[in-house]
Structure 1
Amino acid sequence: MTPKYFSKGLAACEEALQRLLDGKPIVPEHVGLNSSRLTASIVSLEAGFDRGYLKRARKAHLPILAKIEASRADTKNNSGSHNEKRMVRLAAKLLLLEGELAMVRAQRDRVLSQNLQLWEQVRCLELIARKNKSQVRLHL
């Protein structure tokens, strides 16, 4: 049973905080948010309120504000493992980008080759056209 002072707004903020900690936010800007950057205003926005909904001046808000601070402190204490995860994510992203770069380079080379072939054909056609033009003048 929740205390009498526990409002629907606070319940929404609790759910929002849990979504953020689980890495499953519903606000697109919060996707991939580092827990060390978690603030009361972010939790408020995730819950569907404005940035200033959670305030230290409201006694009912103090427990959730303490949870937010505790989760930030946890993240800072576990920054080594977080940095390792971040490095793994960045390495995977780098591999994808290197693959994409190789594909784009191959496409570029193919297009350049086609352009050179077309240029050669145009040059040959121009020579034939000049030759035909000069032959037409000789017959006149």
Structure 2
Amino acid sequence: MKSGDGVSKGLVVCEEALQRLLDGKPFVPEHVGLDLSKLTASIVSLEAGFDRGYLKKSRKAHLPIIAKIEAFRAEANKMPGSSSGESIKRLKNRLVLLEKELAMVSLQRDRVLTQNLQLWARVRELEQAGRQKTSQQVHRLPRS
């Protein structure tokens, strides 16, 4: 599937994914705070919504984006001073996302616990009502 300029839609999606990673705004939660010195073609493929092996050096059309990925990774490895500041920023962003996720999961847990307690109380009420009904029926039986 190719767009009007001869570039496949998959490569366009990968280019967009690479840009999101470089901007620090990935869609995949595991890529938030990614150290660009660890950027790989498989990470870009996953960010684009494909499997790890989508981008391959054996495909001529993929060579330009793979070269970009390797260039960005090499550049990130050259600048240790600036990457530590960026690393801290990415880690803070990741921390914020994890805190939000924790709050959401805690809220869900509390709701489920509340529901379970309500169900448990209702079961006890029904069991007690069942016992009372059974004992009333036993008392009403005629003696022979």
Contact 2:33 2:90 in 1 (8 A): no
- Greater C-alpha Rg: 1
Contact 2:45 2:53 in 1 (8 A): yes
Deviations 1:39-98 (A, max 9, x none): 00000000000000000000000000000000001101112211244468889x9xxxxx
Structure 1-normalised TM-score? 0.58
1:66 equivalent to 2:67? Answer yes
Give the unaligned 5+ runs of structure 1: 94-140
Give the unaligned 5+ runs of structure 2: 96-144
Change (3 A) 1:51 1:83: same
Which structure exhibits the higher relative contact order, with contacts defined as CA atoms closer than 8 Å and separated by 6 or more residues? 2
Amino acid at match of 1:20: L
Partner of 1:23: 24
Aligned length, in residue pairs = 91
78-87 or 11-20: bigger deviation: 78-87
Change (3 A) 1:90 1:9: closer
Amino acid at match of 2:12: A
Partner of 2:48: 47
1:1-140 paired onto structure 2 within 5 Å: 3-4=5-6, 6-86=7-87
Change (3 A) 1:24 1:86: closer
Distance 2:31 2:91 in 1: 19
Using the aligned pairs only, state the percent identity. 67
